[in-house]
């Protein structure tokens, strides 16, 4: 009986051991994650494997040139120093096809030719003045001979001398008139050639073959300009005048080439203030060597600081405001450690702002995800307060 009891006890013990072995888990239990460091106010830690980390974008801060003013509106116009508006000084009828619109012309090139009664009169006056001078010269020489022989009085000699002087003056006048009209002294055909006073392109033409022209026409006949040199006009408010100086470099943008900036230079600052708009007009030289810019294009003008006047410029997406105070987040010692930082901002533009105080070069700024980090901070504050 005792032997059976011992056997039953041994079987029971083996069965208990078997059941206990079967009840053990097949997988090892993972150790708990390391706790995040204790956070101070204004600090945020994100776990390395946190999905929120993917929403955070950063940039390294650097000093750069910055905008002095909001972009100004402007307009491209002809450069008056290389532009000529041409009318005819003589009346007449156009007898040959005028130079075509868009033609490149050099200084002295023919623009049109006139059959002009006025030119015929000028040529006739010159011929008459030449004949009168020849006659007056002979008469004076003869009077000198007679006076030497005491055949006439001195008064008659002086009258002949006055006539000779008047004839010389008249010839000089008619010669100068021909010169002003660019007519040769030997020309006698009544034709007048209107020439370009400068090198450029014919950008406006208001005359056709056979047309009668006069000096008093309302419209000019031709406008010739060197389109490789243009001017930008812009109006600057009175309060901003101290930020722009002669010789200052600007950047011009046009809708035709949205991704390009064209350099310009302040060439003239107006000397009067428009009382109605409180602005001063300024002119800027605009090189146009490739001819892509055109007069009458509207522009946007960016006015940046001098190359030696640099500041930190950050995107507006990095900034959030609390109680009228601007803040950003910067990366701390580790990539998942963020500090809330108060900043003082200057000029704000469409997508950026100039930092006056609060950030330093080479710091790492959170440019995207700042609002998410702010929400994390608020949640932490609520948890701590409980």
Residue 153 sits in a domain whose CATH number is 1.10.287.470
Decide if 2 is inside a domain: no
How many distinct structural domains can be found in the chain? 3
Same domain, residue pair 298 and 317 = no
Decide if 93 is inside a domain: no
On whether the CB atoms of residues 283 and 232 are closer than 8 A, the answer is yes
Nearby residues of 188 by Cβ (< 8 Å), 6 or more positions away? 123, 127
Place of tokens 């012309």: 105
Q: H/E element holding 121?
A: helix 117-148
On whether the CB atoms of residues 262 and 251 are closer than 8 A, the answer is yes
Q: Which residues face 33 on adjacent strands?
A: none
Decide if 172 is inside a domain: yes
Domain boundary among 302, 320, 347: 302
On whether the CB atoms of residues 58 and 328 are closer than 8 A, the answer is no
Q: What local confidence, expressed as pLDDT, does residue 39 receive?
A: 56
Residue numbers of the domain that contains 317: 43-66+309-385
| Nearest Cα residue to 121 out of 214, 193, 192, 190 | 190
On whether the CB atoms of residues 344 and 355 are closer than 8 A, the answer is yes
Same domain, residue pair 168 and 123 = yes
Q: What stretches in the chain show pLDDT beneath 70?
A: 1-40, 185-186, 335, 381-386
Q: How far apart are CA 261 and CA 268, in angstroms?
A: 21
Decide if 218 is inside a domain: no
Other Cβ atoms closer than 10 A to 58: 18
What are the φ and ψ backbone dihedral angles of 94, each rounded to 5 degrees?
Answer: -70, 120
Q: How far is the CA of 39 from the CAs of 43, 167, 168, 329, 358, in angstroms?
A: 6, 108, 106, 15, 21
Q: How far apart are CA 87 and CA 221, in angstroms?
A: 5
Same domain, residue pair 53 and 77 = no
Q: What local confidence, expressed as pLDDT, does residue 207 receive?
A: 95
Same domain, residue pair 317 and 360 = yes
Q: What local confidence, expressed as pLDDT, does residue 28 receive?
A: 47
* CA-derived radius of gyration, the chain: 46
Q: How far apart are CA 138 and CA 24, in angstroms?
A: 147
Phi/psi region, residue 100 (left: phi>0; alpha: psi -120 to 50; beta: rest), is beta
Same domain, residue pair 297 and 319 = no
Same domain, residue pair 151 and 184 = yes
């Amino acid at each position: 009986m005792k032997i059976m009891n011992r056997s039953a006890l041994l079987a029971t013990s083996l069965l208990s051991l078997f059941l206990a072995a079967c009840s053990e888990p097949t997988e090892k239990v993972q150790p708990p994650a390391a706790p995040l460091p204790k956070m101070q106010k204004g600090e945020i830690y994100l776990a390395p494997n946190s999905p929120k980390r993917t929403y955070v974008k950063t940039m390294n801060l650097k000093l750069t040139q910055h905008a002095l003013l909001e972009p100004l509106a402007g307009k491209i116009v002809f450069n008056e120093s290389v532009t000529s508006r041409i009318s005819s000084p003589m009346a007449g009828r156009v007898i040959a096809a005028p130079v075509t619109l868009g033609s490149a012309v050099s200084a002295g090139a023919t623009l049109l030719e006139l059959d002009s009664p006025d030119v015929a009169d000028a040529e006739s006056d010159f011929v008459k003045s030449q004949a009168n001078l020849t006659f007056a010269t002979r008469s004076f020489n003869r009077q000198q001979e007679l006076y030497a022989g005491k055949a006439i009085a001195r008064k008659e000699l002086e009258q002949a001398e006055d006539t000779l002087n008047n004839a010389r003056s008249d010839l000089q006048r008619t010669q100068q008139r021909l010169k002003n009209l660019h007519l040769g002294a030997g020309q006698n055909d009544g034709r007048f050639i209107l020439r370009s006073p400068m090198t450029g392109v014919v950008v406006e033409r208001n005359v056709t073959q056979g047309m009668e022209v006069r000096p008093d026409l309302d419209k000019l006949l031709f406008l010739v300009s060197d389109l490789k040199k243009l001017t930008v006009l812009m109006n600057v408010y009175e309060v901003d005048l101290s930020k722009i100086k002669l010789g200052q470099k600007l950047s011009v943008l046009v809708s035709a080439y949205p991704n390009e900036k064209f350099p310009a230079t302040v060439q003239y600052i107006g000397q009067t203030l428009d009382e109605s708009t409180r602005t001063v007009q300024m002119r800027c030289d605009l090189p146009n060597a490739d001819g892509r810019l055109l007069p009458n294009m509207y522009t946007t003008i960016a006015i940046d600081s001098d190359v030696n006047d640099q500041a930190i410029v950050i995107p507006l997406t990095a900034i959030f405001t609390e109680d009228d105070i601007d803040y950003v987040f910067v990366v701390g010692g580790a990539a998942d450690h963020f500090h809330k930082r108060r900043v003082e901002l200057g000029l704000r533009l469409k997508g950026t702002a100039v930092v006056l105080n609060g950030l330093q070069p080479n710091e790492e700024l959170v440019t995207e995800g700042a609002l998410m980090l702010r929400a994390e901070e608020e949640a932490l504050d609520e948890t701590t307060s409980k």
